Amino acid sequence: MNKSILILIALVFITLFSKAQQKDVNAIIEEGAKLSKSGQYLDAIAKFEAALKIDPKNDIWQYQLSYNYFKAGSRKKAIDIMENNLRSSKNYLGKKYALLGTMYEDEGQPKKADESYMAGIKAEPDYDLNYYNLAMLCQSKGEYANAEKWAKESIKRASNNADASLIYMHAVYSQNKFSNAFLAACNFLLIEPDTETSKEVLEILAAAMKQLNKDKADPDVQKAEEQFKYIITAINSQVNKSAPPNDFFKKFYVDYFYSMYQSGHLPVVCKIVLMSINPQAAEQWASDNTAKVQAFRTWVRNNPRKL
């Protein structure tokens, strides 16, 4: 048989084998991802280890292996995998440092966690999770001003992230910045109106309202529309007198909510924000006022946040 024909046959065989192998790997990874998502971390680990035998340098699979070891409770093993990966690869650095920092925190090493998040910010400044994690870390240490600072940076990069608004709310409320806390709570509840967390946020919203509405004898969250109007207009007046034009709180929260109010959408906002008090009543109201709800949705779509 001609040598060139033998080479051709060998190449065809290699190509077919590679395609079959890749198909097998894809199936393994898909199954591993499903197992991880369902909380079957040990089974997921087995799948990702099998995939890494075929492609030992695959960054994503090493990340997934580290993550699943961490979730399975093998934190030191998870940290070793991620530290080794970071020494050999410069891909996905923001995501890797965010995971590594989280694992350091869980191991009771806040200094290393801080360093990891800062390394992630340096490597990928536009990746929001390291800012968010730093905000959470500072809040847990009682460093509320720093928590506020990092929460702002996270929000700037992921404005629809409810968790970023949540940590910002906690940080400013801890500093008795009740105007900030009020609007941050409203913002969170517009994104996530009816969850277990939203009930906690509603308590802070009510507490902030009492501080901002002291001239009212008995602030009542359930009669909110009038009080929302009073508070939002008062905050807008105060902030526009004192804050510079590019102030984060003014641009992201005050200007946005005041414009929302001026556009006539306060009734819808109140119903969404207070949904967790009585979800069925809120849903019925929405069903009876579809035009108002649709108009609000259109307004939100046509008025993106400006930072």
Q: How far apart, in whole angstroms, are the C-alpha atoms of residue 160 and residue 188?
A: 9
pLDDT for residue 219 = 46
Q: How far apart, in whole angstroms, are the C-alpha atoms of residue 130 and residue 126?
A: 10
pLDDT for residue 22 = 52
User: Residue 15 above 50 pLDDT?
Assistant: no
User: Residue 2 above 80 pLDDT?
Assistant: no
pLDDT for residue 194 = 87
Would the CA dihedral through 192, 300, 132, 34 be positive or negative? positive
In this prediction, residues 40-56 reach a mean pLDDT of 90
User: Residue 144 above 90 pLDDT?
Assistant: yes
CA proximity to 189, closest of 159, 213, 166, 216: 166
Global pTM reads 0.86
Pick the CATH number of 42-127 from 1.20.1110.10, 1.25.40.10, 3.30.70.260, 1.10.3720.10: 1.25.40.10
For residue 305, give every residue at least 6 positions away whose Cβ sits within 8 Å of its Cβ, in sequence order, or none. Answer: 159, 252, 256
Name the segment(s) of the chain with CATH classification 1.25.40.10: 42-127
Q: What is the DSSP letter of 223?
A: G
Residue whose token pair is 């990966």: 85
User: Residue 291 above 80 pLDDT?
Assistant: yes
